[in-house]
Amino acid sequence: MTAGARSPEDQRLRAEQWDHLAHRVFGTGPAFPVRSPFDGQLLTQVPTSTDSEVAAAADLARAAQGEWAARPVEERAQVLLDFHDQLLSALDRIVDLLQLESGKSRVSASEEVLHVAVTARYYGRTARRYLHPERGRGMFPLLTRIDRYQVAKGLVGVIAPWNYPLTMAISDGLAALVAGNAVLLKPDARTPLVSLAAVELLQQSGMPAGLWQVVNGDGDRVGPAVIDQSDYVCFTGSTRTGRAVAARCADRLIGCSLELGGKNPMLVLDDVDVAAAAAGAVRASFANAGQLCVAAERIYVHQSVFDQFCSEFTARTNELVLGRGLAFDYDMGCLISTSQLDRVVAHVEDARSQGAQVLTGGRQRPDLGPLFYEPTILTGVTPTMACCTEETFGPVVSLFPVADEAEAIARANESEYGLNASVWTSDPARGRRVAARIRCGTVNVNEGFAASFGSIDAPMGGMKSSGIGRRQGKEGLRRFVDVQSVATQSLIPIAPSLGLSARGYVAAMVGALRVLKRSGRA
């Protein structure tokens, strides 16, 4: 354990403050043990939900939704703004729980809480503008009026992952909430507590009781039950599971947004500040132990700076401090589970056995805890190696030399995934030009992922096999509403009238359309 960190006994004592959260789950099924990946200690037991309990939770949420949607959007937005303050006031204890539950470093856990606060503030400030009724152009000026209303979907199902159990469970729900919806949340069974704590804070901020329900259990069982009860679904997870979610939603004719897998590229161009790019690569690759949908897993470096970049990147990676404990004494925590560790080990050993070189890392660290693995840099990776094309989702990154900018772009785009990318150059305008040619939902210039992830006005989501739909920004809010058009016709109908025959009506319409075109109207 890192010097200065709190002891496991103190961690256990702190965790006991959150035992009451388990009772906020709508479920009476067999309890699921929630253990800290740091050392396997039991935090608490959380009941699971049966299909009938998922349905009952949905009914309760729907019962509260009508009155909530009828409130002025300003009142709904105020709940989010008050939640922003509540969350920041509770920062330390929420970060404690997030660390214990997910194995994050304290800085990674703190950033996650801050991201949720920023999301709450953004939608609290912008909801009125994005949801306010809009006027459209009618068929005939002055005679036809079009009003567009944003109508809440009803009940939004959120199926959240374990890697960012606060952000991915709560941020989508905040947008759905302020749009007038109820929320039915299924967090990952390994990390339910921090989202339950956030829902508790939302109620303390004025959200009506019953509006946001939480169910728990195995994703293969409870996930489909959530979909079957929802009017719209947000899912974050693997591409394989995302396809199943999309198919089930399609069968019910409901919409969904899916943020799925990634094999994210980083491009280091020939004019780069190597030291800055190497420092950025450390964060882009190893934040949250690489368990981040937008983390860099493949780095394409111009051959003129490849050796220098390798040396600088390796040196900076070797400075990372691994450890566990509730203090800011280390840079990287552990993996979430044995299965995740096994995947990381398998990818590295497969690459090593086929001739890849390990510049640093490549070892488990049982001296720190059962799920720690060193940040690992590979070179000489070929397409036959699993880590070349498959998402590792751990602290492993591969370096590739490229001859020029065109090759870097082509290599970045050859993946089936298209979630996030980054471009590093001393010329930001050049970086933006390169970014526009990369088929990813977000591309950061001279930053790994935080510039887009932390800017809530920047829509985020995947291209290709990395998903559909967007979170954040106006798009992230309006996915939770249906647009209703109300057309009001005045004075004369759009039909034969005023003594016109059918032939005369059509002739008059043709003439009117020609006049409208000359006037420049759409």
pLDDT digits (tens, 9 = 90+) for 315-342: 999 999 999 999 999 999 999 999 999 9
Alpha-carbon gap, residue 452 to 460, rounded angstroms: 8
8-260+475-481 and 264-456 have identical folds? no
Strands (E) in 153-202, as ranges, are 155-159, 182-186
Q: Which of 133, 125, 137 is nearest to 174 (CA)?
A: 125
DSSP, collapsed to helix, strand or coil, labels residue 512 as helix
Q: What pLDDT, on the 0 to 100 scale, is given for residue 10? A: 55
- What pLDDT, in 10s, does the model give residues 20-67? 899 899 999 999 999 999 999 999 999 999 999 999 999 999 999 999
Average pLDDT over residues 98-110: 97
CA atoms 164, 170, 175, 181: torsion sign: positive
Residue 498, pLDDT score: 86
CB 376 within 8 A of CB 360: yes
Mean predicted confidence (pLDDT) in 390-415:
98
pLDDT-based confidence at residue 520 (cuts at 50, 70, 90): confident
**For residues 319 and 310, what is the distance between their CA atoms, to the nearest angstrom?**
14
Please say if 293 is a catalytic residue.
Answer: yes
**396-402 sheet: strands from edge to edge:** 357-360, 376-379, 396-402, 296-302, 264-268, 420-424, 442-445
Question: What residues have CB less than 8 Å from 113, skipping those under 6 apart?
Answer: 87, 91, 94, 95, 98, 166
Q: Which of 448, 485, 93 is nearest to 287 (CA)?
A: 448
- Strand, coil or helix: 497: coil
Q: Please indicate whether residue 234 is annotated as part of the active site.
A: no
Q: Flag whether pLDDT at 227 surpasses 90.
A: yes
Q: What is the DSSP pairing of strand 232-236 with strand 155-159?
A: parallel
Top-level CATH class of 8-260+475-481?
alpha beta
Active site residue: 293, 310, 334, 440, which one?
293
Report domain extents, the chain: 8-260+475-481, 264-456, 496-522
Catalytic residue among 111, 259, 312, 405: 259
Q: 264-456 maps to which CATH number?
A: 3.40.309.10
Report if pTM > 0.85.
yes
